[in-house]
Chains A and B, each alone.
Chain A
Amino acid sequence: MITFTMNGAALQVERGSTLLEAAQFYGFPIPTLCHMEGLSPYGACRLCVVEIDAKTRSRLVSSCTYPVQEGLVVRTASVRVVRTRRMILELLLASCPQSKTIQDLAAAYDVRHQRFRQEYEDCILCGRCVRVCEQQMMAKAIGFRGRGENRGIGTPFDVQSDTCRLCGACMYVCPACELRCSYAEPEKAICGGCANLSPQCVNVDKFDDIMCYMNPCVACEIVQR
């Protein structure tokens, strides 16, 4: 067992645990998009950053990849951590505003606006699909290609892979595809959806016939809070 300090509490975990596992075990909430049980740690979304006190000065590390070390001092919700997570969420909203998962996280961190040029992308490149395909479905049908802003997920030359069994696991694990809202898209809005209509859709008879599959609609709660 390894003894370490998390948020001021002296705790013990088994050797080889990551900080995220330890935090989850002891009930400290850490948001994450790219981490999934059963898949290898990847460290791509950076939402799970925590502050650790290394020898000289504290720094942020991704908790999903960082192994617990003897005597480590960890803070999972320090000012610096929360500030960083809020900026990451703002970036996520700027790129992928339709994802309910991202909207929920943004709401939890009280991020209501984003200040960048609005994009509407479908993918945050968390890599869950690639890893589930390789590590759980043993198919390796999809992978990353390109670099930097041109990075994307797909197959070489866009030819369908022979090993793909159309199992759908990739879609099942996707945090961005999950419950994607597809409403009107005014700029600089959180989801671009019903919440930004004024008055809000839920309060107006005119919109009665709209079938909202986002039930309960968290987007509205964000504004009402």
Chain B
Amino acid sequence: MPRLRTTSELEALRRRIRGRLKRRGSGIAICAGTACQASGANHVQRVIKRDLMERNLVERIGLRITGCQGFCEMGPFVVTEPDTVFYSKVGDGDVPRIIDAMISGTHVDDLLYQDPATGERSYRLEDIPFFAKQQRTLLGKNQHIDPIRLFHYLAEGGYESLAKALTAYTPEEIIDEIRRSGLRGRGGAGFPTAEKWEMTRRQGGGQKYVVCNADEGDPGAYMDRSILEGNPHSVIEGMAIGGLAIGATEGFVFVRHEYPLAIKHLLIALRLAREYGLLGENILGTGVDFDVNIVKSAGAFVCGEETALIKSIEGLVGEPSQRPPFPSERGISGKPTCINNVETWANVPIIIAGGAEEFARVGTSTSTGTKVFSVVGKIRNTGLVEVPMGTSIREIVYDIGGGPPHGGRIKAVQIGGPSGGCIPHWHFDLPIDYDSLTDAGAMMGSGGMIVMDDSTCVVDVAKYFMSFLKDESCGKCFTCRKGTQRMWEILDEISEGKGTLEHLDLLEELGQTVADSSMCGLGQSAANPVLSTLRHFRDEYQRHIVDKRCDAYVCASLTGAPCQAACPVGTEAWRYAALIARGDYGEAYRVIREANPFPSVCARVCDHRCEEHCRLGATGRDPLALRALKRFVTDRVDPSTYEPQRQFDPDAVGKPVAVVGAGPAGLAAAHGLSLKGYATTIFEAEDRPGGMLVSGIPAFRLPRDVLEKEINALIDDNITLRCGSVLGQDFTIESLLADGYDAVFLALGAHRCRRLGIDGEDCAGVYPSIEFLKAWNLRGESLAGGRVGVVGGGNSALDAARVALRQPGVNEVTVFYRRTRQEMPAFDEEIEGAIEEGVKLELLVSPVSLHVSEGRLTGVEFISNELGEVDASGRRQPVAKPGSKHRVPLDTLVVAIGEVAIDDATKDAVGIETRGGAVVVDKRTLATDRPGVFAGGDVATGPNTVIDAIAAGKRAAEVIDRYLRNQELRQPAEPRLPTAYVEPTEIQMGDQYEAPRVKVPTMSHSVRVHSYDEIESSLTQQEAVEEASRCLRCDLEFTRCSAKVDALRKTSGGRA
């Protein structure tokens, strides 16, 4: 092909190419960006090619291997044309089916994109929410372009802008066009591009340079790479226009050598452009010269800073120097140099082709156009997202990004990589433009967006970025070098649990100094991650320092084994698992019982946070079945045989303490106090102890004999149990204190149901859930009959539904919940159990009115909801759909929409400060506003789990002990780390990793609907040992060393 000598030759060529591409009609575009290549796109691409050749379809179906199209999560993916059907995660076996479908004009349904929330499949690329909500001015072109073919770019209107700039515009007019478009630097700082060009142009004649900064080094950012890989000609064209405008004849692309594909595509593009006379001397016969060379960066992060970049191009050490002079005055070899980011250059041809006004119409008044973000981290749709400036973070994260991947809660977004800042979720309505972000303490940066959820620790994130920066700081200026190093040191100490509160102030002071006095942008922005996380998540830092807790279970020195750290009572779950694997069940029981006075109860009804945070689960497999293992152990030991360790203090013996409520919290507190020697009296309103365990939880989940045995084992000679005494009726807090009790622990639980607040709620057939459950559990009364509805999505709703199902005269049971199943607060296993038994779920509905006839319920009017914005709880709010009211005939309605501890009726009887239906206590000491009166469990937290109540009871015993000894109630916290060493059992390498999680044996659902017997049964010995052997033994990291020291001590006679 000869060089193009005039612009009309270019246009003629373009027409020919377009005609040829049009004749072919259908085609397959496969994304082969670096991310898709990593997930196997190259192989799929070869299979497609072979398949097309074998079937002799090459002429009919074109194959286009494109650069990154952005939806990296779904790679490798293909788009078939002309109807743009999007097939995700394509394997090589799927290729023939796709081609068959193309020929027959149908779809391969199972490969289509499926919406994870609704399960709906989208046929066309444009219908997928990820694409539909973007405005893909830059990235959209990648789909139509094979980056190694110039013709594809020409067919898309490529080099049209260059031709226009060469023939129709003077340099001043080009700069003016850019100025009117409002384009600002996409590299991060947002300097107006036209102003930079103008400054460089003003520097008089002589040699000048333009540079494309493709030294993209932010962790998690890869939009520049994708543009260079997918559409290199757009960058070249932009640079040529820029060169023309400022009077430069030479350009450089400064690109990381870690981007081999980008370099390859760029080199091919440069060669083609030169061959066709679009670069080099006398471009398109206009007499203008311009050429571009590539400089490969060695990968130092600081070389993205423009003065360091210039040094690097000159062949010197890549260290920044103080500005002024600015590169536009003195740059490469002292000549004026204009440096712009890849994305900025790629926007230039779009502005020239479409006009400045068209470009400025998108975005906000001060930040125009679109911006590409790479959305990575804890997000469902990882990939590149292009949106107009001014789009809110919420839209990017939830609407396009699809929200958190595993039902977590998104906590914050780190924008702009290590130089940027952390934006917390309560600022997600912030529009993304240069000025709003700067005001919020972040910066646009190159556009990396790292999403963090509650399994991300902000201290760890700050530490990571600081570790990155201290390594990447060039070290020339003192504050950046030492400042980043010292900040990292302090953060490291905090994450190790050695931090102090003074450290936080020092961090802020130091961060401010580093930001103020560093030489280049790296140092000036280095403190941003620390300062912004400190500003928004100071409480999380304090939690590390004061409570020695890392709530994300990331900081190893504070977490130890996550199972143990996650347990409110600190059960050494790893330890009993290890002991089961060794066959030492007696010791395993002791380990469980030492931490938890209700082992058999918790083996059945605990919400097992230990499993939630199990590393096996976090590494992509199923977590260890710790609750089932605990059940296995507790089933083999009678609770009465366990002898707890008593620590009698002569001063304490006989001192009277009153505990109000014999639920898990009250019993645990009484037990703890009894072990210390206090004479404890428990006042219980019902006729038997157990609280919610007996009145709320049905027997098929927690058999009564098991519960009774466990409670009886706890009540010893030191404890007096007084059933049938009600606070406010039979006694008051004053009377208890007057009767000589030295301290009072309130553990009343939360027994008062919230009301629906609609008319007719008091009619026959409508019951609050607690009343309904108590009637059944305590008195054996069946209140339900006919068609039963339960409103609510918590555990008591599901319990009520399952109880109702077992009552005589019940035809069907339906649970009505106002959000979707994902948002249901009940445990998954309860929901599944209920569904298995035949309970129906009716989601996204709220009751609006009751139909009552002759004082009895006949039906309920519901309105349908849809999910709206995310609320403060991190869940999406239900919003009623107008005109969707419908009537459901019901004979019984159980209202289970939450309970409170104290309502207006009981408030006065309690006589201490309450808020939102719960007693106000100091979370760490459980002290109420009255000295000597403590409160814990549901009465202080609202409806909560059994294990939290037990933990509160245990804590109350300790705190009351300290109170009665006149000691300081608050004690410095210590991290709960594994201490005891349990020799690991030998396993065959690989076995442990292959084995799936054990399935807990359950009664078949057809039998259990008619039975009140326990549903779950125990594991067999073999199952238990096998399951226990799956444990990763996170504890060994902490205990193995000390075990070695002990062994050494033994051998060396204690002198090690």
Contact = CB atoms under 8 A, between A and B. Distances in A.
B478 interface: yes
Nearest to A143: B317
B473 A148 contact: yes
A66 interface: yes
Contacts of A147: 300, 302, 471-475
Contacts of A148: 470-475, 481, 484-485
B475 A46 contact: no
A41 B323 CA distance: 12
B66 interface: no
Contacts of B519: 43-44, 46, 62
Contact of A88 (B473, B474, B506, B517): B517
B516 A149 contact: no
Interface in B482-511: 482-486, 489-490, 502, 506, 509-510
A173 interface: no
A45 B322 CA distance: 12
B324 A66 contact: yes
Contacts of A61: 322
A98 interface: no
Contacts of A127: 476
A92 B482 CA distance: 9
A117 B479 contact: no
A87 interface: yes
Contacts of A87: 509-510, 513
Interface residues of B, number: 33
Contacts of A80: 516
A124 interface: yes
Interface in A161-215: none
A87 B490 CA distance: 15
Contacts of A111: none
A49 B515 CA distance: 13
Interface in A52-82: 59-62, 65-67, 80
A111 to B, nearest CB: 13
A66 B484 CA distance: 24
A88 B478 contact: yes
B39 interface: no
A84 B517 contact: yes
B80 interface: no
B470 A92 contact: no
Contacts of B513: 83-84, 87-88
Contacts of B516: 49, 59-60, 80, 84
A91 B486 contact: yes
Contacts of B490: 116
Contacts of B472: 147-148
B300 to A, nearest CB: 7
A116 B503 CA distance: 9
B595 interface: no
A147 to B, nearest CB: 6
Interface string A133-148: 0000000000010111
Contact of A149 (B302, B475, B478, B518): B475
A210 B750 CA distance: 75
Nearest to B516: A60
Contact of B486 (A49, A62, A116): A116
B184 to A, nearest CB: 16
Contact of A46 (B300, B324, B474, B518): B518
A151 B479 contact: no
Given A46-B478, A67-B324, A117 B489 contact: yes
A91 B483 contact: yes
Interface string B25-52: 0000000000000000000000000000
Q: Which 10 A-B pairs have the closest CB atoms?
A: A151-B475, A65-B322, A87-B513, A148-B473, A43-B322, A46-B517, A91-B482, A46-B479, A60-B516, A49-B517
Interface of B: 300, 302, 317, 321-322, 324, 470-479, 481-486, 489-490, 502, 506, 509-510, 513, 516-519
9 contacts: A46-B517, A83-B513, A84-B516, A125-B478, A148-B475, A148-B481, A149-B473, A151-B474, A151-B476
